[in-house]
Structure 1
Amino acid sequence: MRSTAPHIVIVGRSGVGKSTVGFELSRRLHRPFFDADNHPDRAPEHAGEATDDEIVACRDWIQVICSTSMPAVIAAPWVGVDQVLRSRDEQRWGEPHWIVLLEADDDVLRGRIGERGAPASPAADADADDRLAALRAAAAVEVDTGSHSTSEVVDRVAQAWSRRSENLPAR
């Protein structure tokens, strides 16, 4: 039987800390962790770099994970989650879900990514403002990872999750 406890979906740009925060949050909440970085067909971090097939593969991966019966923490690129939100197809997305948007400024991301290259800037994507607006509207909580340690970010998300669980505002 499908659980009614929401999946926690961690989204953000490359280098923002989705994998690190997602893993630590999953440990704290005793949930399985799924990371799109470990998916063989993962899409690049923004639509300007992703092929249609990569976006579809990422979107379908999110669907499979979200349709599982055990609530999980999922780290996914913003383009994959954005595509699911744009589709408005709840069967594809799976219900329920709770979105965490992680953000950091470009200088912080460049410092973190280093050899992997420049962060995928929303400005490089013609639809970036719309994508970010859709994610912000869907996010239960937003955290700036550039000005907080991993532990502080996980604390903030866990506190917001706790307030959500107690039916209090998450923001």
Structure 2
Amino acid sequence: MTGIALPGSGAVPRVVVMGVSGSGKSTVGWLLARRLDVAFVDADGLHPPANVAKMTAGEPLTDADRLPWLRAVAAELAAAPAGAVVACSALRRRYRDVLRDGAPGVTFVHLDGSRDVLAARLAARLDHFMPASLLDSQLATLEPLDADEAGVVLDVGETPDRLAEATARRVTVAA
């Protein structure tokens, strides 16, 4: 997991910036998409209203709640002809498998950080439906990338610009 290997020359980048809430997925994903000149999709915007209501109430989503959402995320990623960057938690291997099945060639950028850093970021948020109370649930659910999964793990201690730039260089070099 030292770099992002895209399948074949001329392949379009299909990148999922993943991690728990507060890791900076949306910010880094948007910056990365700008650098790659591809579409950016925040998967939070694809949640059905029932999922948003559950999370707003502090209830963790079940796998049954997530499956239609993950399929919608994969469809968005696959439908982008020039490639795309998607910010999506993708916490479990089986969730990433759904994304890979629906959007072959997807690679993952896992934004990882300590619970203290993530909790501080969540506490500073004012405009998100995901309450800080669900952080521990997300951390317990998180399955790091396996060695056979295309992707890289980056420390959220770096600035979003540095994370996006480092990832863009890897994607550009691999393409």
Specify the TM-score bucket, using the shorter chain as the normaliser: 0.7 to 0.9
Equivalent residues of 1:22, 1:73 under 8 A apart? yes
For the residues of structure 1 that align with 2:136 and 2:165, how far apart are their CA atoms? 26
Equivalent residues of 2:42, 2:87 under 8 A apart? yes
| 1:152 aligns with one of 154, 162, 175 | 162
Aligned residue type for 1:70: A
Aligned residue type for 2:37: H
Q: C-alpha offsets along residues 71-106 of structure 1, whole Å, 9 cap, x if unaligned? A: 101111123x6334345x95x422121211111110
Structure having greater relative contact order (Cα 8 Å, sep ≥ 6): 2
For the residues of structure 2 that align with 1:60 and 1:120, how far apart are their CA atoms? 25
- Distance change (3 Å), C-alpha of 1:22 and 1:104: same
Aligned to 1:164: 174
Give how far 1:70 is off: 3.1
TM (normalized to structure 1)? 0.74
- Aligned pairs (5 A) from 1:34-53: 34-41=41-48, 49-53=60-64
| 1:75 aligns with one of 74, 80, 87 | 87
Task: Report the 3-state secondary structure (helix = DSSP H, G, I; strand = E; otherwise coil) of the residue aligned with 1:85.
Answer: helix
Give how far 1:137 is off: 4.2
Give how far 1:58 is off: 2.0
Give how far 1:153 is off: 1.0
- Aligned pairs (5 A) from 1:80-119: 82-86=93-97, 92-114=101-123, 116-118=131-133, 119=135
Q: Which runs of 5+ in 1 are unaligned?
A: 166-171
Equivalent residues of 1:101, 1:139 under 8 A apart? no
Give how far 1:122 is off: 5.3
Aligned residue type for 1:66: L
Aligned residue type for 1:25: L
Equivalent residues of 1:26, 1:72 under 8 A apart? yes
Aligned residue type for 2:112: E
TM (normalized to structure 2)? 0.73
Give how far 1:154 is off: 1.1
Give how far 1:67 is off: 2.2
Task: Report the 3-state secondary structure (helix = DSSP H, G, I; strand = E; otherwise coil) of the residue aligned with 1:156.
Answer: helix
For the residues of structure 2 that align with 1:75 and 1:103, how far apart are their CA atoms? 14
For the residues of structure 2 that align with 1:51 and 1:121, how far apart are their CA atoms? 11
- Distance change (3 Å), C-alpha of 1:63 and 1:104: same
Aligned residue type for 1:149: T
For the residues of structure 1 that align with 2:66 and 2:138, how far apart are their CA atoms? 16
Identity score, percent: 24
- Distance change (3 Å), C-alpha of 1:139 and 1:11: farther
Paired residues, number: 151
Aligned residue type for 2:70: R
